[in-house]
Structure 1
Amino acid sequence: MIRVLIVDDDALVRLGLTDLLDGDPGIEVAAQASDGLHAIEQTTAHRIDVALVDVRMPRMDGITATARLRALPHPPKVITLTTFDLDDYVYSALAAGADGFLLKDTEPAEILRAVHLVAAGSAMLHPAAARRVIDRYHATSRPQAAAARARVGRLTPREDDVLALLAQGDTNADIAARLGMRESTVKAHVSRILAALDVSNRVQAALLARDAGIST
């Protein structure tokens, strides 16, 4: 059972998301919060696997809240769910440690899919956010690319293979099938890759890989 926290200052949005998520037998809405500070309190009080976090909220916005949630001793995965798809929000959310970025006009089935994917250790980006990530990759500066290549240089050749597939959005199961590994072995590789690159999640690792020019 995936325990979810819904963080939004709009009570109707919280109600709608609760109805949607509670209809999935594999998901339980464990708590709700009306702003970032409340989200931290609720996550501390409850065991949360995935937090759906709005961006614009009073007292503490969703970007700051994401960074604070990810810094907790037992951090939840975070999906930023917002009405706005401005570039600054996409990059700020991912830099803060979000594992996904979705717009509120995302189809209900895709929101449920995102919760399951992120809970399993994968990432989920709205197509508009993914487009911005790709545009950023194409605009990578030489110093930034060199710094990324230096960090990627810490990896073994096999970890390079895993990172290349991770960067194109493959799940652990996909990577295992393509590289002829056990899924548990891929998971161990991913953990080592995140540690070696000094990033907090798969999305940040994928961005770094693209900055370094890694592709399959």
Structure 2
Amino acid sequence: MIRLLLADDEAMIRAGVRAILAADPSLDVVAEADDGREAVDLAISHHPDVALLDIRMPVLDGLAAAAEIRRAAPGTAVVMLTTFGEDDYIARAIDVGASGFLLKSGDPRELIAGIHAVAGGAAYLSPRVAQRVITQLAAGRVSRGAVARDRVAALTEREREVLALLGSGLSNAEIARRLHVVEGTVKAYVSAILTRLDVRNRVQAAIIAHEAGLVA
């Protein structure tokens, strides 16, 4: 069972999202918040597996709430759920440690798929968001590639292999099966990779993997 925190200041939106999640019996909404500060408090007290946060909320916006949740409840993965797809929001969401970014206008199946992916240790961007990120990477690949390759060079051969698979969007369990190791070993590698690359989450590590040419 995946335990969820749902935070949105619009009751109707929360009800709609809750109805979509109810279609999957493996998902359980254990807490709801209508502002960012309450979302942080509930994440600390309920320890959900995934927090679904709207970006624009009163008291504390979703991006600030995400940053606090990642600091105070590191076991809770964060997915930003918003109607806004501007590049600035995407970049800031990744910077504060969000593992997923979904648009409310997207297919409901994306929401469920994204939650499962993030809960399984992977990152997830809606296709429209992913296209924006890929475009940004392509635009700056030449200038950033050398820097990324230098950072990746500090990793061991096995860590680079794990980073490449992570950059391809595989979860910890999928990487473990691919490398014929236990999932705990993969978690240890991922933790070491994030530390050595000095990044906050898998999304940032995946971007470096792409920039360094580890992922086709």
Q: Distance in 2 between matches of 1:191 and 1:165?
A: 14
Q: Distance in 2 between matches of 1:109 and 1:168?
A: 21
- 4+ aligned runs moved over 4 Å, structure 1: none
Q: 1:179 to 1:46 in 2, by over 3 A?
A: closer
Q: Deviations over 1:148-176 (max 9, x none)?
A: 32322221011111111211212234333
Of stretches 1-10 and 143-152 in structure 1, the one that deviates more from structure 2 is 143-152
Equivalent residue, structure 2, for 1:160: 160
Please say if residues 159 and 189 of structure 1, whose CA atoms lie closer than 8 Å, have aligned partners that are also in contact: yes
Question: By how many angstroms is 1:141 displaced?
Answer: 6.4
Equivalent residue, structure 2, for 1:83: 83
Question: By how many angstroms is 1:87 displaced?
Answer: 0.7
Q: Distance in 2 between matches of 1:30 and 1:180?
A: 35
Q: Following superposition of structure 1 onto structure 2, how do residues 109-124 of structure 1 map, counting pairs within 5 Å? A: 109-124=109-124
Consecutive unaligned residues in structure 1, runs of 5 or more: none
CA RMSD of superposed structures (Å)? 1.9
- 1:43 match: secondary structure: helix
- 2:72 match: secondary structure: coil
Of stretches 144-153 and 121-130 in structure 1, the one that deviates more from structure 2 is 144-153
Equivalent residue, structure 2, for 1:195: 195
Structure 1 residue 103 and structure 2 residue 103: aligned?
yes
Q: Distance in 2 between matches of 1:56 and 1:38?
A: 14
Equivalent residue, structure 1, for 2:137: 137
Equivalent residue, structure 2, for 1:212: 212
- 1:213 match: secondary structure: coil
Question: By how many angstroms is 1:75 displaced?
Answer: 4.2
**Aligned partner of 1:16: which letter?**
G
Q: Deviations over 1:3-37 (max 9, x none)?
A: 11111111101111122223422121111111211
Q: Distance in 2 between matches of 1:187 and 1:114?
A: 19
Consecutive unaligned residues in structure 2, runs of 5 or more: none
Of stretches 196-205 and 83-92 in structure 1, the one that deviates more from structure 2 is 196-205
Aligned residues, how many? 216
**Aligned partner of 1:187: which letter?**
K
Q: Percent identity?
A: 48
Q: Deviations over 1:108-148 (max 9, x none)?
A: 22211211111110111111111111112112266643433
Please say if residues 93 and 101 of structure 2, whose CA atoms lie closer than 8 Å, have aligned partners that are also in contact: yes
- 1:170 match: secondary structure: coil
Q: Following superposition of structure 1 onto structure 2, how do residues 46-65 of structure 1 map, counting pairs within 5 Å? A: 46-65=46-65
Please say if residues 69 and 75 of structure 1, whose CA atoms lie closer than 8 Å, have aligned partners that are also in contact: no
Please say if residues 122 and 172 of structure 2, whose CA atoms lie closer than 8 Å, have aligned partners that are also in contact: yes
